[in-house]
Amino acid sequence: MSIGAQESRKLNKSYNVFHQFNKLAYFGWPLGKRANLPFYSQPQAGKILWQMDSLYDRIQESIRYISSQVSEKPAVGVVLGSGWWNFIRELDQPQGIDFSNIPHFLPTHLGKKSGGLIIGRLGQLPVACLIGRLHTYEGFTVHEVSYPVRVLGAWGIKVLFVTNAAGGINPRFSPEDLMLICDHINMTGENPLKGEEEEKLGQRFLDMTRAYDPTFIRLARAVARKLGIKLRKGVYVGVNGPVYETP
């Protein structure tokens, strides 16, 4: 099919407008409705609702704000899942920052409870705790869910303890058993490393051979024996939920 010069110019103009529209910003999303796009920024009336800054730049902006609010840089990160929030009572000199105040962090869907970052000391060890996680089954994207952990890693935290409450499919386990995760299987069909590659963020294809450090696993088992705590050992299977799996 052939087209005339005038139609050709119209098509080129339409393509250029569409290309710039997608390259620069997302307009027209209804206020009050969260855009289903990664790294969403809170909308302001009369302004562009979403800007395609690089992920690296967003992370650095989050880190700058957090650093301005706390007195020291943590060495260890802890993700506090369901039933683990009382851990923050063990921290000395805790400082809290609500997620909604940190640039590019999203508030959680917890009703009156609000997610946040708690910085404090456990003995002599500076610790950063994330309370109130985001979940994909709440409608968040995998990039939004993983963003707080990306920030901790870019901030220099290299040791992360992750806790949660989960169902069990091992018939030998009992309710309320404490299980030490030694490996995981991702069955969600999602991966937070997908998307446009940014060299500043480091390698995309990661070596997962020792994702769960054998030294920490041995230490946890030794401490459990010393304290008389029954500690199971197993593999965590990640599924989308929301569900507590059973045998």
Q: Per residue, what are the HEC states of the chain?
A: CCCCHHHHHHHHHHHHHHHHHHHHEECCCCCCCCCCCCCCCCCCCCCCCEECCCHHHHHHHHHHHHHHHCCCCCCEEEEECCCCHHHHHHCEEEEEEEHHHCCCCCCCCCCCCCCEEEEEEECCEEEEEEECCCCHHHCCCHHHHHHHHHHHHHCCCCEEEECCCCCCCCCCCCCCCEEEEEEEEECCCCCCCCCCCCHHHCCCCCCCCCCCCHHHHHHHHHHHHHHCCCEEEEEEEECCCCCCCCC
- The upper half-sphere exposure of residue 17, i.e. CA atoms within 13 Å in the direction of its Cβ, equals 7
Phi, psi of 60 (to 5 degrees): -65, -35
- The upper half-sphere exposure of residue 24, i.e. CA atoms within 13 Å in the direction of its Cβ, equals 9
pLDDT of residue 40: 34
Q: Which two tokens stand for residue 222?
A: 């030794």
Q: Which residues contact 176 (CB under 8 A, 6 or more apart)?
A: none
pLDDT of residue 112: 47
pLDDT of residue 111: 54
More reliable by pLDDT, 57 or 4: 57
Q: Which two tokens stand for residue 139?
A: 């409608």
**What is the pTM (predicted TM-score) of this model?**
0.75
Is residue 144 within 8 Å of 38, Cβ to Cβ? yes
- Tell whether the model's pLDDT for residue 14 goes beyond 60: no
Mean pLDDT score, 177-181: 94
Going edge to edge, which strands form the sheet with 76-80?
92-98, 116-122, 125-131, 76-80, 159-162
Name the residue type at position 165: A
* pLDDT tens column, 96-136: 999 989 999 988 765 545 689 999 999 999 999 999 888 88
- Confidence tier at 213 by pLDDT (50, 70, 90): very high
Is residue 213 within 8 Å of 76, Cβ to Cβ? no
Q: Alpha-carbon distance 231 to 220, whole Å?
A: 9
- Tell whether the model's pLDDT for residue 29 goes beyond 80: no
Is residue 92 within 8 Å of 98, Cβ to Cβ? no
Is residue 166 within 8 Å of 236, Cβ to Cβ? yes
